[in-house]
A and B are shown apart, each in its own frame.
Chain A
Amino acid sequence: MIPAAFDYAAPESAGAALEALRSHDNAVLLAGGHTLLTALKQRQSRPGLVVDLRNAGLGRLEVDGVGDLVIGARVTQQYLADFCAREGWPVLAEIGEKAGDPMIRARGTFVGALCAAEPGGDWAAGALALGAMVRVLSGEGEKTLDYADYLERKAEPHIVLEASIPAKLRAAPQGYTKVKHAAIGWSVASLAHVETEDGPRLAASGALERPRRLEAVEQVATASKVPDLPAIDDALSALTFTGDRYAPADWRRRRLALLVRDHLHTQSAKEPT
């Protein structure tokens, strides 16, 4: 790999990393690097400064005092997956088996995946379904945002210090189903589902411009536990779908609708009668 030349810094604190990020008008953050390094390799990304978080701490992974799962910016996907499988955070454990491959999970970070929010990103869909929060450090100081809001608002230089998963959904019925792209392993249609007292929380990735909650589908699924395909398809109609030669947008939309139908049917069948 021969990227275009850039300066490199590995500050020893999140604050120093933010300062470095703000000091340069073309600086990027490096955590696990699985989004950035690919772009660097192809010279699609030409940063003036790469700010590496490797020395900045941010490796926290624990259940905090109120029972929320807290995941630091440098926690790798595999480390998180193992923790979740061991400690009982089911949908994240399941995504850990389906996201990327062992090499990607070994280097890629969970928070990095949330920040990149790649169209086919698995973790972002899971985080949206789980109602994840992110703690953000910016020039205005620290604040905690709903991850879905963060995706809408992120702009100024900032660092996501950690993400947290609310305790209240830990034991809820949940699951993740995925259709993989044959070329690149990303999802072409996937669905994260968490069943709450208020109804299902559904988030999709792969078929859309970026992972997102499927609020309209949630309404349909709340009205009927096992909605039919036309109803689901209608609920997806307002969304913009993307595709490629292998999996065109129209097909991804149909595939996602089927995925939603089948997933909800499966979940419904699991419930005690």
Chain B
Amino acid sequence: MKPENPYAGELAEPEGWVGRAVERLEDERLLTGAGRYVDDITLPGQLYAAFVRSPHPHAVFSQVDTMAASDAPGVHLCLTASDFDDLPHVKPNWILPRSTPRGRPILAKGRVRYVGEPIAVVIAESAAAARDAAELVEVDYDPRPFVLHQDEALGDSAPRVHEDMDNNVAATFTPGNGGFDEAASAAPFRTRFSLRNQRLVPFSIECRAVNADHDPASERMTLHIAHQLPHMARRMVAETIGFPENRLRVISPDVGGGFGPKMHIYQEEAVCALASMRLGRPVKWTERRSENVCNTTHGRDHAMSIDVAADEDGTLRALRIESRANIGAYMSSMGSGIPTINVGLFVMGVYEIPAVEVDIKCLYTHTPPVDAYRGAGRPEASYVIERTIDRVAHELGLDPAEVRRRNFLTEDQIPRRQPTGAMIDSGRYHHTLDEALERAGYERFRREQAEARERGELLGIGIAHYTESCGVGPGQVQKLVGFDRGGYESARVRMTSDGRAIVFSGSHSHGQGHVTTFAQIAADELGISPDRIEVIQGDTESVPQGVGTFNSRSVPVGGSAVKVAAGRVAERIHKLAAHLLQIKPEALIREGEVFGSDASNDTLTFAEVCHAAWTGHNVPADLGVGLEETEFYHPTAMSAPYGAHVAQVRIDGETGELELLRYIAVDDCGKVINPLLARGQVHGGLAQGIGQALWEDGMPEDDGSTILDTPVPRFDMLPRFETAHTVTESWTNPLGAKGLGEAGAIGAPPAIVNAAIDALWHRGVRELDMPLTPARILAALDAAKGHGA
């Protein structure tokens, strides 16, 4: 009998602060409305921006008439593309080799390529005045044929999104070790099917926002941006508008959710900065939710076909995957890397497959650009392989859990680089699956399922055993794949004279709880409690050059930087204390806050040592004044978290309605810094993953307009999650940690769809595409009935 403790699993009783379920130190301020977000910041002389956006998915235009808008009350400036001699473009930050990048013009020039693309901006005294005046801007649109879906974008007759290209193919990627045809022809079983990983619209509670403040006197600019990567934002804005990076300061204050889209630069940030430069006054823009839907990047949107061969016992022999990714009208920041590298490398999941071929094409379409969204490629990869395993199992009449076991990479095969290129640092897959199945009562459920079928009821159980990769990894690998971004993270740890500490981190929390977890990590190194540690993030002028928060990298990379820097500070404290006590460092004894030795009764408090360091009165030259260390931690490899998720569903055969009965998530993120926050990460990811599986659909309407009422998962739509951990530490970083932030979003879609198909397979349903709306399930049942199943 397993304990009910939600932190259960293999979490050891912690010796120090790491591993403890410390409540979030930042929450009181945030929960009492005292958070400070970009829109809360109003500067002296504040002006406001409103954008004029395309109502057409594809149109050409020759004139943008801003005369009436310019004359409207309170308006200071109207800008269109014609106001720029050399129109800046927001360039992608990850350009896959041999791809054809087309960045976004900061204001459309002569042609619009998706609904919502900015054409003009109005800067006025108030947000209301700007919005009213923006409605007065007239554009002589001439609508043109458009293409929304990737399947249609490939055709010879498809409208071209970029007229200077021969086709709509933005990038191709073909990982794998080949040999599919030979291996497949030798295998006794082979099946083909296709699936979709639908487009999603990421919704943060706080929309994007920017407040650009250029000071003409100093020729310096400060940008307040709701962003995940403050230093990257500084670089990308500087590159886009040609502004000296050393005079540009980015401050990201409290950020209300990111999920990927807040790690890019868009047109609005560049336009507000340029407008502020022209006006010498701060210019603020806060995204409306309807703008969030049309101009902030979307996620997913893959159409995939699978060809798989296996032995009769389910042992996989060959896998071929063809994926067509819709990347929207322009190549967004990471738009060519997410659907290729982040999908193609990981399509083998946790399995050994002798022959694998993957063919991925990224297509431009007349839709909003697609980029990273929680999981960013790994959900798509996990979905395709986990759906494939179940498909093989069902067609062969085998237990999906057993088919997984027969194909798992074993511990003696790990570390391993998969033929597709994925690096797997750690994994005890049998162990984690067994843990999840036991918690789920798998065998009992199968018996109940059989009994339920006798009564005509439809129960299903679905497994997803995902793996992914976190941390972004070593820089040389990023260079190889065209990702113009560092793989390191920074931390500076500074003691203050009163024995407290400040941790400056290049990571940036947008809800994760770094203030708590980083304090716990530093606390163990320094030997003080977390409440004596202040964590500072989000200001490029106080934090050492960092990379930022994405790819579940904050703990394994950012946290490791904190650990290393704090460890070095602790070492200096130790040496200084010994020096001040005139003893050898190895003779120094620390008991709580007091340093001493067996050799004498002389003692010093921890705070006294810190004080002495900053006076520098009696500090030896080799230690130097102060107590401060900076670390740019660069991981040796990416870590590969994994987990086994199990969903149990009931489907009403008459209505098509699906009830998610239970959801069990056993994740292995290595060392868990804070079980409470880890659970929060899993819960949030699960909500989004379940949202994708059951409700969400961000594909534009048939006329190209953006969908405004895609469902968003809410608390009352979700079951009580049952979470646990297995702990297999990673050797890729000193914490032994692997990321966890995206696990739920990766595991939930395949687990739930597998469960739904498990419930309906005997009724003849073979495939269901997300979201599993009741109408879609009912249509599948009808179709199966129609085919005499």
Contact = CB atoms under 8 A, between A and B. Distances in A.
Interface string A237-253: 00000001111101100
A269 interface: no
A4 interface: yes
A250 B775 contact: yes
B709 A182 contact: no
B656 A2 contact: no
B191 interface: no
A248 B774 CA distance: 10
A262 to B, nearest CB: 9
Contact of A251 (B290, B711, B712, B778): B778
B712 A248 contact: no
Nearest to A186: B709
Nearest to A229: B654
Nearest to A250: B775
A44 to B, nearest CB: 11
Interface in A218-249: 244-248
A183 B656 contact: no
Given A182-B695, A183-B712, A2 B127 contact: yes
Contacts of B711: 181-184, 246
Interface string A176-205: 000101111000000000000000000000
A99 to B, nearest CB: 15
Interface string B694-728: 11010000000001011110000100000000000
B132 interface: yes
B571 to A, nearest CB: 55
Interface string B126-149: 011001100100000000000000
A43 B707 CA distance: 17
Interface string B452-463: 000000000000
A85 interface: no
Interface string B749-789: 00000000000000000000001011100100000000000
A5 interface: yes
A251 B656 CA distance: 9
B655 interface: yes
A258 interface: yes
B773 A246 contact: yes
- Interface centre among B290, B771, B775, B778, by most A CB within 10 Å? B775
A254 interface: yes
Given A4-B132, A42-B290, A184 B775 contact: no
A255 interface: yes
Given A2-B131, A183-B711, A184-B709, A254 B778 contact: yes
A43 B778 CA distance: 37
Main DSSP-derived SS at the A contact region = loop
Contacts of A43: 135
B593 to A, nearest CB: 50
Given A4-B132, A42-B290, A258-B654, A182 B717 contact: yes
A268 B694 CA distance: 34
Contact of B695 (A5, A183, A248): A183
Interface string B618-660: 0000000000000000000000000000000000001111000
B72 to A, nearest CB: 11
Contacts of B707: 245
B132 A247 contact: no
Contacts of A182: 694-695, 711, 717
A249 to B, nearest CB: 10
Interface in A88-117: none
B654 A183 contact: no
A251 B131 contact: no
A184 B711 CA distance: 7
Contacts of B778: 251, 254
A4 B132 CA distance: 7
Given A4-B132, A182-B711, A255 B127 contact: no
B693 to A, nearest CB: 12
Given A183-B695, A183-B712, A184-B709, A247 B290 contact: no
A108 to B, nearest CB: 19
B710 A183 contact: yes
Interface string B347-363: 00000000000000000
A247 B127 contact: no
B773 A258 contact: no
Given A5-B132, A183-B709, A245 B655 contact: no
A37 to B, nearest CB: 14
Contacts of A250: 775
Contacts of B712: 183
B626 to A, nearest CB: 50
Nearest to B290: A42
B128 A248 contact: no
Nearest to A42: B290
A255 B710 contact: no
A246 B596 CA distance: 70
A4 B655 CA distance: 42
Nearest to A245: B697
Contacts of A245: 697, 707
- Interface centre among B127, B131, B654, by most A CB within 10 Å? B654
A182 B717 CA distance: 8
A190 B131 CA distance: 39
B336 to A, nearest CB: 29
B205 to A, nearest CB: 16
Given A2-B128, A2-B131, A251-B775, A258 B655 contact: yes
A180 to B, nearest CB: 9
Contact of A244 (B135, B695, B709, B717): B709
Contacts of A258: 654-655
Interface in A2-39: 2, 4-5
Interface string A249-273: 0110011001000000000000000
Nearest to B777: A251
B576 to A, nearest CB: 58
Contacts of A181: 711
Interface string B284-304: 000000100000000000000
A43 B50 CA distance: 15
Contacts of A255: 655, 774
Contacts of B135: 4, 43
Contacts of B128: 2, 5
B13 to A, nearest CB: 41
Given A182-B694, A251-B775, A255-B774, 10 more contacts: A2-B127, A2-B128, A4-B135, A182-B717, A184-B711, A245-B697, A246-B711, A246-B771, A248-B775, A251-B774
18 contacts: A2-B127, A2-B128, A2-B131, A5-B128, A5-B132, A43-B135, A179-B657, A183-B711, A244-B709, A245-B707, A246-B771, A246-B773, A247-B775, A248-B775, A251-B774, A251-B775, A251-B778, A254-B655
Closest 7 CB pairs of A and B: A183-B711, A251-B775, A182-B711, A182-B695, A2-B131, A183-B709, A2-B128
